[in-house]
Structure 1
Amino acid sequence: MGERVGLGKKVADHWDYLSVILLSLLLDILILYQPNGIARKALGLAFVLFFPGYVFITSLFPNRKELDNLERLALSFGLSIAIVPLIGLALNYTPWGIRLSPILVSLTVFNIVFSMVGIYRRERAFDPWIPRVGMGDIKRWLEWEESSGLDKALTVVLIVAILASIGTLGYVITHPKPGERFTEFYILGPRGKAADYPTDLRVGQNGTVVIGIANHEGRNVTYYVQIWLVNLTWDNRTNTTIIHDMYPMPGWFNITLPPVPVNIEGNWTPEFERNYTFSINKPGDWQVWFLLFKDKQPKLPPKPANGDYAGTAAEKLILEAVNGTVQSLKLNVHVRP
C-alpha cells in the first residue's frame, strides 16, 4: 500500500512532464492517422508554442524560488519560439532537411529528453516547483493576492497579450491563406522521362511524347489542349516573330480534372497523362506547340483551303505562346527527307 501511495505521489508531482510526453506522442499519432483533424491543430499549437520552452525552463530552474510563476509562463512561450527555429536550422544541415516528419520527431525527442531531465532535477531539488491546477492553487501560482496593483495590471496585460498572440496564430493556422493556384503542364519522352524526345525524324516517321496535366487550381477545371505544327523565325531587325506555316495537328482533346493538393512530402505522382503520337510529312525545322486553355478555348477563324492558318487571326495563339501569355510547351523537331 505504501508503495502505491509513493508511486501515486511521484506521478502527481510530475504530472506536467508526463502530460507533455503523452500529448507529444498523441500528436504524432494524430498526424499519422488524422492529419486534418481539429484536435491535431489545437494540440499542434501547444506542441510548437509551449511544450519545448516549458520543459526546458522547468528543467533548468526546478526550485520554486528561482523564478516566479509569471516568469515561468512567459519564458515557456518565449523560449518555445526560439527553440523551434533553432531545431529547424539544425535539421537544415542534415540529410533529412526541414520537413514535417523530421521536425515532428526532433521536437518529440526534445520534449521527452528535457521532461526526463526535469523529473530527475525536480526529484533532487530542495524546494521543487510543482504546478497545481485547483482554483486556489492557480491564484497562489500567479501570486495574485500578494501582488501590488502595478504587478496585477502588468500580469493582466501580459496574459491578454499571450492569449491574443495564441489566438491570432491559431486563426492563421486553422484558416491558412490559399496557396498559389496553378496547373502543371508537361511533356515527357516516350518512356515517361524528361529525355529521349523525338526531335529528329524522317518524313512520315512517328514520334511519341507523353502529355501530362495536374490541377492545383483549387476547383474542377476543364482543360483544352491544342496541338499545332509551326514553322517560324525571329526577325532581329524588327524584334518580331514571323510565322511562315501553321497547321493544326490531329489529337486535340479536352479533359475535366478535379483539384489535387501539392505533395511536397512524398513521391510525386501524375494526375493525368496521355500518350500522343504524331508524324510530319514535310521536311525542315518545325516546332510542335502544345497549347493549354482552361474552361474554354478560343474560337478559330474559318479553316483556310490549304489548311495553313499562317496569316490568319489564329497566329495570335502562337504569338501569345511565344510571349508566355498562354500556357504552352514547345518541341523542336528536325525532319529529314
Structure 2
Amino acid sequence: MNPHQRLKTHWDLITITALSLILDILIVYAPDSLLRKILGLAFILFFPGYTFITALFPNRKELDNLERLALSFGLSIAIVPLIGLGLNYTPWGIRLTPILVSLTLFNITLAAAAIYRREKAFDPWVPWITLERIKKELEWDESSRLDKALTIILIVAILTSIGTLAYVITHPKPGEAFTEFYILGPEGKAADYPTELKAGQDGTVIIGIVNHEHRNVTYYVQIWLVNLTWDNTTNTTTIHKMYPMPGWFNVTLPNVPVNIEGNWTPQFETNYTFSIEEPGKWQVWFLLFKDTQPELPPAPSDGNYAETDAKNLILEAINGTVQSLKLNVNVRP
C-alpha cells in the first residue's frame, strides 16, 4: 500500500493523532484559545473511545456506524476516568500534564494498533461520510413519515445537546470568589509564632493577602489587642480590654487566578512587628475588610474600646462574619 492509499485508508486515525498533538501544542502556547477548548472536548469525549473501538473491531460487518459512534462516546466517558484513577496512584497524580500526556499516548498507541488491525482485516471499515450512506444507515427510504420526523427530532436533540455541552465547557462560570488571608511566623513558615513574650518585647509576624475575587479589591487591615473571657455555661464572650494596635494599613490588589497546577506563590506580604506592655493573656486580632472599613466610635479617654460598639467587630470575627485571624500571646512581666 503506497503512502497516498495508506493516508486515504487511515485518514480518521491519522487525523486523531495529529489533532491530539496539536492540542498539546495549544495547551502550552495558547491555553486560552477557543480552538484549544473545542479540541479538548473531542480529545476527552470522543478520541479515546473511537481509537479503542476501531482497534477492537476493524472489520466493517462487526459494528454498524451508529453503534461505533455511540460506543466511541460511551467508552471515552469510561476510559478517561480510569486513566485518571490510575494516575492517582502514581507520583504524578491527577494534574494537567500527566493527564494530557497519558491521554495523548493512549490515543496514539490505540490509533497505531487500529491502523495495524485495519490493514490485516479482510473487509476493513473506513468511515466515509456521504449523504447516501447516512440515508442507508438510517433506513430513510423505507421509513414512514412518522419515523422520519422522529429521526429528525432525535438528530436535532443530539446536535443541540452537543452544542449546549460545548458552550458550557467553553464558557465556564467564574470560580468561587474568595480572599486568602494568613499570618506566618518571622521565618515565613506556619510555625514559630511569637506566642510567648515578655512585657515590651517585640514579636514579628508576616501578614499575607491573595486576591481571588475576580476584580480589583482594596483591602483594609485592622489590628486589635484584646483581652476576653469565654463562659462555657452561657456560651458568651466578654471583652474586658480592646486596644487598637499601630500598623493599620490598606492595599489594592488585582485579581490572581487560582493556580492548582504550579507551586503556590504569595501576592502581598508585609512584616508586622508589635509589642505588648501589659502582662497577661492577650489576643492579637487581624481583621480584614474589603473596599471599605467600618467607622469607629470616638476614642475613649483611656483608649479601651471594650465598652463601645467597636467590640462588635471582635464578636463578629469570633462568629465568622468578619474575615479575621487571631494570635494568642502570653505576656510575662
Question: TM tier, shorter chain?
Answer: over 0.9
Structure 2 counterpart of 1:282: 278
Q: Is the 8 A contact 1:69 1:141 kept in 2?
A: no
Aligned pair 1:92/2:85, yes or no?
no
Structure-2 separation of matches of 1:41 and 1:220: 27
Q: Give the direction of change, closer, same or farther, for the CA distance of 1:30–1:112 in structure 2 (3 Å limit).
A: same
- Cα deviation, residue 263, structure 1: 0.7
Tell me the distance in 2 between the aligned counterparts of 1:102 and 1:115.
20
Cα deviation code 1:239-266 (max 9, x no counterpart): 2111111000000000111111111000
How many angstroms does 1:138 deviate by?
4.5
In structure 1, C-alpha distance between the alignment counterparts of 2:132 and 2:34, rounded to whole Å: 31
Most deviating of 287-296 and 100-109: 100-109
Give the deviation of 1:83 after TM superposition: 1.5
Distance in 1 (CA, whole Å) between partners of 2:79 and 2:132 is 29
1:149 maps onto 2:167 in alignment: no
Q: TM-score, normalised by structure 1?
A: 0.93
CA contact (8 A) 1:69 1:142 kept: no
- Indicate yes or no: 2:43 matched with 1:47: yes
d(CA) in 1 for partners of 2:239 and 2:33?
55
Q: Which runs of 5+ in 1 are unaligned?
A: none
1:1-337 pair list within 5 angstroms? 6-133=2-129, 137-140=130-133, 143-144=136-137, 147=140, 148-149=142-143, 156-337=152-333
Asked if the contact 1:199–1:331 (Cα under 8 Å) also holds between the matched residues in 2, the reply is yes
Question: For 1:194 and 1:325, how far apart are their aligned partners in 2?
Answer: 24
3-state SS of 2:283 partner: strand
Preserved CA contact (<8 Å) 1:69 1:143: no
Q: For 1:106, what is the secondary structure of its paired residue?
A: helix
Count of residue correspondences: 330
Distance 1:326 1:332, change over 3 A: same
Judged with a 3 Å threshold, the aligned counterparts in structure 2 of structure 1 residues 96 and 152 are, in CA distance, closer, same or farther, namely farther
TM-score under structure 2 normalisation?
A: 0.95
Contact 1:70 1:142 in 2 (8 A): no
The alignment yields a C-alpha RMSD, in angstroms, of: 1.7
Secondary structure of the residue that 2:55 maps to in structure 1?
A: helix
Instruction: Check whether the contact 1:201–1:333 (CA below 8 A) recurs between aligned residues.
Output: yes
Deviation at 1:63, TM superposition (A): 0.9
**SS of the residue 2:239 aligns to:** strand
Q: Which deviates more from structure 2 when the two are superposed, residues 97-106 or residues 119-128?
A: 97-106
CA distance in 2, matches of 1:145, 1:162: 15
Cα shift readout 1:12-63 (whole Å, capped 9, x = no counterpart): 1111111101100100110011111011001111111111111111111111
Q: Answer whether contact 2:65 2:137 (CA < 8 A) is retained.
A: no
Cα separation, 2, equivalents of 1:131 and 1:235: 76
Aligned-pair CA distance for 1:94: 2.1
Q: 1:162 to 1:59 in 2, by over 3 A?
A: farther
Cα distance in 2 between the residues matched to 1:163 and 1:291? 52
Please report how far the alpha carbon of residue 291 of structure 1 lies from its aligned counterpart in structure 2 after TM superposition.
0.3
Please tell me whether the aligned partners of residues 70 and 155 of structure 1 are also in contact (alpha carbons under 8 angstroms). no
Deviations 1:252-299 (A, max 9, x none): 000111111111000000110000000111111110000001110001
Do the aligned partners of residues 127 and 28 (structure 1) sit closer, same or farther apart at CA in structure 2, a change above 3 Å counting?
same
Secondary structure of 1:310 counterpart = helix
In 2, distance between residues paired with 1:153 and 1:70?
18
Letter matched to residue 149 of structure 1:
S
SS at match of 1:180: coil
Identity of matched residues, %: 74
Q: Post-superposition shift, 1:71?
A: 1.7
Determine the C-alpha separation between the residues in 2 that align with 1:97 and 1:307.
Answer: 54
Task: Flag structure 2 segments of 5+ consecutive residues without an equivalent.
Answer: none
Q: Distance in 2 between matches of 1:113 and 1:170?
A: 27
Structure-1 separation of matches of 2:182 and 2:244: 19
Per-residue deviation, 1:328 = 0.4
Alpha carbons 2:51, 2:107 under 8 Å: kept: yes
Q: How far 1:103 moved relative to its partner?
A: 1.3
